[in-house]
Each structure stands twice: as structure tokens, then as C-alpha cells.
Amino acid sequence: MNLAVQTSAQRLKAYCDFQLVANQIQGVYEVRDERMIKYLSKVLQLAGKFKNFEVIRIPRTENTKVDVLSKLAAFGYTTLGSICMEFLKKSSIKNEVVEVMQVEYKPCWMDEIIDYLLSGKLPEAKKEARKVIQRAARFSLDGESLYKRSYTIPYLKCLRPSNAAYTLQETHEGICGEHLGRKALAIKVLLRGL
């Protein structure tokens, strides 16, 4: 986008094989990650410099030309015919002030465990309090993230229902492509660190 601005382009059509990014730019997906909010802000700022800006999502299998170009650039090729390239020496979002929107979560099963692990707060009913204590023994906190302990695989990050649905959809249809079954899907989610 920076190169297109420098060449005084009036219209820009960008192709993206990353469903998450394309849908965030188009406003279909909500942006929650602070870093992604900064990048989106930068993209929208640059998009305002064009008369017409469009992001089109294409399947990764149809993006082979771009993959080849990115690999050539990674190996340090600086001249590729009439192709303009820009090598960034620093992050394009460094030291930018961005407004962050607050996302409200609906209560879920994690809340009682997090409250107990953070502050020792328990429900008033003795039976419910005992259940929370027993369940909390199988979990741990890292900052504000709740993880379920496991002996055979890495700790499992607990997701709120809205995040879980999105993660499964993205893993199934988006960034990870198709899967063979529920075990393969679970392994892909674990390996991606989502």
C-alpha cells in the first residue's frame, strides 16, 4: 500500500489468501488483538489515500505467484523486472497511538474458576464452592489466560464460547485448510497455538 501511494495510484485492488486478515479489513470479522487493531488502523489510514481500495480474498492454492515472489524477496533479490518491492527495517505500526475498543464478554464457565484463582472468590453456596475448588485444581492462570493442565500434551488454552467458535471455524475453513476429522482438527488447533 505504501508503494502504491508513492506511485500516486488512485485505485488499488489487493488480493489476500489469509481469510482472517481479509475479513477484518472488510469489516466482516471483529478485530480483538491489540496488534491487529494497530495494523488495521494503518491499513484503513492508507486506504483513505485511494479513490477506490478493495481487498479480495483468494484461496491459498490460487496464490502461488505471490508465494514465489515472497520467497524471492526473502532470499534478498532486489530487482525482479518491473516489480516494486519495499523492505521494511522496522514494524510499520511501531509507536502509533491507536484507539482500542472494549469488548464485553458474556459470563461463561471460566469466570468462577478465574475469580477463584485470582482472588480466592467463591460462590456463597457451599456445594458450588466445593465444585469450583475441585475444578480449579485442574487449571492455571497465565496473566489473564486460563489453561487446563495436561500430562501428555501442552497446557490447553481455554476459550470463551465466541472465541472457540471462531477458532474452530478458522482452523476448519480458513488458515489451516481442511482436516480429516475431529482429532486432526484438535491437533491443528494445538499446533497453531490458537
State the pLDDT at residue 165.
Answer: 74
Q: At 191, list the grid cell.
A: 499446533
> What are the residue ranges spanned by the domains of the chain?
2-74, 110-192
Which residues, at least 6 apart from 13, have a Cβ–Cβ distance to it below 8 Å? 54, 56
Average of pLDDT values for 122-128?
90
Instruction: Break the chain down into helix, strand, coil percent, rounded to 5.
Output: 45, 10, 45
Angstrom distance (rounded) from CA 136 to CA 150: 13
Average of pLDDT values for 85-94?
68
pLDDT grade for 184, boundaries at 50, 70 and 90: low
Angstrom distance (rounded) from CA 58 to CA 84: 22
State the pLDDT at residue 104.
Answer: 56
CATH superfamily of 2-74: Ribonuclease H-like superfamily/Ribonuclease H (3.30.420.10)
* The pLDDT of residue 147 is above 70: yes
pLDDT grade for 131, boundaries at 50, 70 and 90: very high
Cross-strand partners of 54: 13
In 62-166, DSSP assigns E strands to 139-142, 145-148, 156-157
Instruction: Say which amino acid occupies 114.
Output: I
31 or 100, higher pLDDT: 31
